[in-house]
Structures are given as structure tokens and as C-alpha cells.
Amino acid sequence: MPCGWLERKFLLVFPLVCGLACQGIAGNREYKDDQQGFQLTYPKKLILEGTKSKVRLFHSIRWRHPNPCAFSDDDVPDIDLLTDFILDLEVVSGPLGRVVGDLLSYDPHIEYAGDLPKERGEGWFEDFQVRSLKGYLVQQGVEGCGAWKYLFPLKDGRILIVTRGMITELSGISGLKNDALKVPGVITPEEEERMFREILASFKLMAKR
């Protein structure tokens, strides 16, 4: 089965229109989430969709190509869109140990020291920081398909979970990168990385009313 992130099915049960919550500022838009109590800025080229608990930022362009995450011997239909940026943000209640444990529950051999694994390793659980956001990175994927999960403990005791989809077509693993980079309007890996970090750097908790 194709990885869920790369099926390009944005399963948002209650889509919200950005409306007055978003304001253009210097080439970016500002988004304020009164329900979850945070704000951020994001590039105007990205589309914002949300539910009552999650915000999604993404960008897609038309390009018909083989599904790089269809791990099957059966004939699999081609994909009509290249999604070259996809990011989910949600704020959840702690404790941190429970959230980390939920993400790593697929590996029963992990030893913990308090709330966190004893061992750190590149690509599966490591420290990660962007400006004031300091937390942890967990990789959930295989062969370039899947997502990275970022966990950031916040000052109010909650945890920001950021899910960043792996752009398989633009990785060296897929064999599609050279052709994908020729598609007009594509977001390059370097631009995706820059936008990802700038969005995180703009994240702020809103003052309680």
C-alpha cells in the first residue's frame, strides 16, 4: 500500500476557511489559531487548511508520474500531482513521555531514561532546534517514504507536534528527482528546507485572553 502521506488525500473532516485569521505581510501570510492558541507566518504560495485540532500547509503542482511509494508487484496507477511541501502542526497536552512513547511504540527494544530514550541516533530519535523551539526529531518512514515528526515542549506545558512529509520524488532514492526538478513551479529541496525552518521560527504562543 502507498504511504498515507503520499496518497495526496488531504483527509480534513471539517475544513476551515482561513479568512480573517490570515493577513498578508511582506510576502508571507500570518495565521492565528485562537482555539489552539498560537500564531505563525507562512509563504503565500502554500495552501493552508485546518481542522479543529490540526493545521496543514501544503503545495502541489500537476505532474503525472509513477507512485514512488507503491511497494507492490501489482500495477499501480500513476499520480497526477507532485506534492512538494506538506506540513501538519498540532498542539497537544503532555506529558512528553507519553507522546514520545506513542510515536516509538513500534519498537519494543528501546530503553528509556525517564521520559526519553537512552540512546540517540541520527534518523530515528535526535535533538532538534529552530530558534526558540527546542525538542526532538523522530523519523517515521522507509526508503524515503513517510514523514518526520518533531516534538517541541512549550512554555505552557503543552507539546507542539510538527509532521513534515518526506518528498520522495525529490529524494535521490526515487529515481525521479531530475525529472521532478524540471517541472515548472516545483519547490526544490533547498527551498522546502528553508520554508520549513522559517515557519517554525515564526511560531509563537498567543497571550491568553
Which comes out higher in pLDDT, residue 113 or 24?
113
> What's the CATH code of the domain at 135?
3.40.1000.10
Cβ distance 20 to 41 under 8 Å? Answer: no
pLDDT of res. 199: 97
pLDDT tens digits, 164-200: 999 999 998 889 999 999 999 999 999 999 999 999 9
Q: Mean pLDDT lowest for which of 11-25, 82-96, 150-164?
A: 11-25
% of the chain surpassing 90 pLDDT: 53
The DSSP element (H or E) to which 23 belongs, if any, is strand 22-25
Instruction: Count the domains in the chain.
Output: 1
pLDDT of res. 139: 84
pLDDT of res. 1: 34
pLDDT of res. 107: 61
* Structural domain that includes position 19: 4-205
Cβ distance 28 to 187 under 8 Å? Answer: no
pLDDT tens digits, 20-44: 344 444 579 999 998 889 999 999 9
What is the grid cell recorded at 11?
A: 483527509
Average pLDDT, the chain: 82
What is the grid cell recorded at 99?
A: 507522546
Most confident residue range from 45-59, 68-82, 114-128: 45-59
pLDDT of res. 39: 95
CA angle 89, 94, 90 (to 5 degrees): 10
